[in-house]
A and B are shown apart, each in its own frame.
Chain A
Amino acid sequence: MQKSRIIKDKTAHATMFILTVVSILFVVVMFIGLYLKSAPVLRGESLWHLLTSSEWKPMKGEFGFLPFIAGTLWVTLIAILLALPVSLLTAVYLTEYARPRFRKYIFPALDILAALPSVVYGIWGTLVIVPFISNKIAPHFVEYSSGYTVLAAGIVLGVMILPLLVSLFIEVFSMVPKDLRESSLALGATRWQTTCKVVIRRTLTGVIASTVLAVSRAMGETIAVLMVCGCVMTLPNGVLDGCYPIPALIANNYGEMLSMPLYESALMLAALILFVVVLAFNLLSRIVLYRMEKRLL
């Protein structure tokens, strides 16, 4: 009886240990898998050339990723610029000003934003944002725009990362001890002064880390962006041009790529680039956030 219990415990321990280690190793396996697949195209050209060339002619074996990288960066930049002020102010209001009862109404709204699938955002983008840009915004600046632009993708993406940013900011702000706020308020500072000079100053690294995390999320978003970005394979010159971010490139061409090994390899390189960038951003910001949590709590 005693022995069987101990054996059971030991077996469970071993199984769980293996499961945990395997899931850690999965990150490594994923990198290796994608790297092996993208090796053929890297053998043909140097990585630098692939990243900076804008010639994308799969049939001739030319793969320049610059338009796609530029598209990703543009769209992400717009999304962050739009979402950052809104989410920062919302998070400040919710942690520093709002009564608990008010939170009860806003949290479900954020939940819904976070839960809606990206195709739903894609539909919303094509039905609301794209016509709005085409009819209302673009005529002021250019002669004609279909509306399927960097700006449309940026707006849709901005709304999609709002809930993530707000929840990260709330987590970061609530790490600041209450005493600090109260001492600042007791000295006669207003709530807003306390927010700027105590809460945000104290958590600035956390705010930046959270933003980086949201950036990495925005970079990988596929379907919604694909539906509104216009899929134009040129370097975008402004927010009213079409673009073609990396995830859209992968998703759009997965069918054709099978017939050409080099094409497949190039698309896997695209996935690898995305993976490495997201991995680096995530590791960096998570380490910063962990450290901060330890320091403040």
Chain B
Amino acid sequence: MELKSKKIRESVAKVFMWMSMIVVFGMVISVVWTIFSHGWKAMSWNMVSSLPGGGFYIGKEGGFLNAIVGSLYIVGASTVLGLLISVPVVFYLNVYLKSESKLAYTARMAFDVLFGVPSIVYGAFAFTIMVFFGLRTSLLGGILVITLLIIPIFIRTMDEATRAFPRDILDATYSLGATKWETLKVVLRQIAPGIATATLLSIGRAIGDAAAVMFTAGYTDSIPTSLSQPAATLPLAVFFQLSSPIPEVQDRAYAAALVLTIIVLILSISGRFITNKFSKNKI
């Protein structure tokens, strides 16, 4: 009797697990399919290669090249800045500080907390800072806020990769007379796949974020030519065009969302590829 009931429970549990797995797959397919089926209809070469024309917002000709270029500017610049700041911090946490150091603990905690802070709060905070310094919504503001947003992602992901890195290699470099700074070359080579995954993750988050750039980068129909001009971004292009009552304009929102989705899909698939290729024992 007892034996039977536990077998039954086992099977019931399995059924439920399969159901949740189906839910997960179903959601992925539903979201991606929705975007592709709606975006594909409105997609054309013109959309991704031209700026908004005169009557763009009432459904006349034009595309959203401004948003694509704006997003690329912001994401490119903030990724470079983010790497420049976070690689030294990760190196410091793992090589200069001992693993039981209070500072390392506090720093990891701080980055975990910063990782959890919603992007709208980053946006609001950056906005007040910009007002304080008399800056207007601009490309520079967008770049700075996105940099702040992705630094915690960079650090957390790279830190995880670096912690698994064998200490013996460090000891070997020290015994050869290297200073800690000089071991950087060795460490960097070892954690290169980790840096690559972190970069892809950060780009994905940076390009999809709308709440933070809404306050800081603003929106414009032209491609910014200097750091002080406002810049359009893809997520905001989707958001603003979707709120239009005109169907043609809404279709463009779907097309812009399709572009965004394709970029993100490529990033996430190549991220998984790198992880699989370089870390055999990781799930």
Whether B24 contacts A106 by the Cβ 8 Å rule is: yes
- Check A117 against B208 for contact (C-beta < 8 Å): yes
A38 to B117: give the CA distance in the assembly, Å: 18
Decide: A279 near B113, CB < 8 A? Known: A115-B267, A220-B119: yes
Which residues of B118-168 have CB atoms within 8 Å of chain A's CB atoms?
A: 118-121, 123-125, 127-129, 148, 151, 155
Number of A-B contacts (CB under 8 A): 263
Chain B: which residue is nearest A105 at the CB level?
A: B25
Binds A, one of B57-65, B86-94, B223-231: B86-94
Decide if B88 touches A274 in the complex (CB within 8 Å): no
B107 touches A24 (CB 8 A): yes
Residue of B nearest to A96 (CB): B17
Q: Find out whether the CB atom of A116 lies under 8 angstroms from the CB atom of B272.
A: no
B-contacting residues, A279-296, CB 8 Å: 279, 281-283, 286-287, 290
List the B side residues contacting A118 at CB < 8 Å.
208-211, 235
User: What's the least CB distance linking A201 to chain B, in Å?
Assistant: 16
Enumerate A75-122 residues with CB–CB distance to B below 8 Å: 85-87, 89-90, 92-93, 97, 100, 103-104, 106-122
Selected from B9, B112, B123, B260, the residue in CB contact (under 8 A) with A286 is: B112
Question: Which residues of chain A have C-beta atoms less than 8 A from B27's C-beta?
Answer: 113, 159, 162
Size category of the binding interface on chain A: 35 or more
Stretch in A54-62, A137-145, A186-194 touching the partner: A186-194
Tell whether A233 is near chain B: CB-to-CB under 8 Å: no
Give me 28 A-to-B residue pairs in the complex whose CB atoms sit less than 8 angstroms apart, sorted by A's number: A9-B180, A13-B92, A13-B96, A16-B88, A23-B85, A23-B114, A86-B20, A103-B283, A108-B269, A108-B272, A113-B27, A116-B31, A116-B261, A116-B264, A120-B238, A120-B260, A123-B242, A123-B253, A166-B24, A192-B10, A216-B116, A220-B116, A250-B120, A268-B124, A271-B120, A271-B125, A274-B118, A279-B116
Residues in A lying within 8 Å of B, measured CB to CB: 5-6, 8-9, 12-13, 15-17, 19-21, 23-24, 26-27, 30, 33-34, 37, 85-87, 89-90, 92-93, 97, 100, 103-104, 106-124, 126-128, 159, 162, 166, 170, 174, 189-193, 195, 213, 216-217, 219-223, 227, 247, 250-251, 254, 267-268, 271, 274-275, 278-279, 281-283, 286-287, 290
Identify the B interface with A (CB < 8 A).
6-7, 9-10, 13-14, 16-21, 23-25, 27-28, 30-32, 34-35, 38, 85, 88-89, 91-93, 96, 103, 105-107, 109-114, 116-121, 123-125, 127-129, 148, 151, 155, 179-182, 184, 204, 207-211, 214-215, 235, 238-239, 242, 253-254, 257, 260-261, 264-265, 267-269, 271-272, 276, 283
